[in-house]
């Protein structure tokens, strides 16, 4: 099990703490990507953890991140195959999006100060 943590203050639009995203990107074979890393794209920070099977290069991965838009999350996440969890932090808008792959086998938890709540991906048709 891999443990990673992120603490975000959405009121101020700041990432206060992060850990576990220092493993980088590892391409294995033709299309398997193991990833535990953070990227900046479109003024957002993308925290990714998991495996992707849709990219051959880091440029392709960056291109996909660049197509993110909050109003099209369902369509955007369907563009990739993998087992992953993504946190997108848009500090400018004071918003964060916790996204899992469509099969949702990876468990994630979030807290709003005191209580910890499980996160499940809604069914994507």
pLDDT of 123 higher than 80: no
For residue 118, what pLDDT is reported? 47
pLDDT of residue 116: 44
Q: Is residue 108 part of a domain?
A: yes
Does pLDDT of 125 surpass 50?
no
Distance from chain centroid for Cα 78: 14
Domain of 97, in residue numbers: 5-119
pLDDT in tens, 17-58: 888 777 777 777 777 788 888 889 888 999 988 888 888 888
Domain count, the chain: 1
Q: How many whole angstroms separate alpha carbon 40 and alpha carbon 84?
A: 18
Looking at residue 72, what is its pLDDT? Answer: 92
- How far apart CA 95 and CA 88 sit, in angstroms, is 8
pLDDT at 49: 85
Cα(103)–Cα(120) distance, integer angstroms? 10
Would you say residue 75 lies in a domain?
yes
Of 40 and 113, the structure prediction assigns the larger pLDDT to 40
pLDDT, one tens digit per residue, over 77-100 is 888 888 888 889 988 888 888 888
| Reported pTM | 0.76
């Amino acid at each position: 099990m891999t443990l990673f943590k992120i603490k975000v203050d959405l009121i101020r639009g700041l990432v206060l703490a992060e850990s576990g995203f220092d493993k980088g990107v590892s391409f294995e074979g033709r299309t398997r990507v193991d990833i535990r890393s953070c990227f900046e794209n479109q003024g957002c920070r993308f925290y990714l953890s998991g495996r992707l099977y849709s990219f051959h290069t880091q440029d392709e991965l960056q291109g996909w991140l660049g197509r993110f838009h909050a109003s099209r999350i369902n369509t955007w996440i369907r563009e990739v195959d993998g087992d992953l969890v993504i946190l997108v932090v848009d500090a400018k808008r004071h918003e964060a999006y916790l996204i899992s792959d469509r099969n949702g086998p990876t468990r994630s938890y979030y807290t709003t100060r005191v209580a910890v709540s499980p996160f499940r991906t809604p069914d994507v048709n």
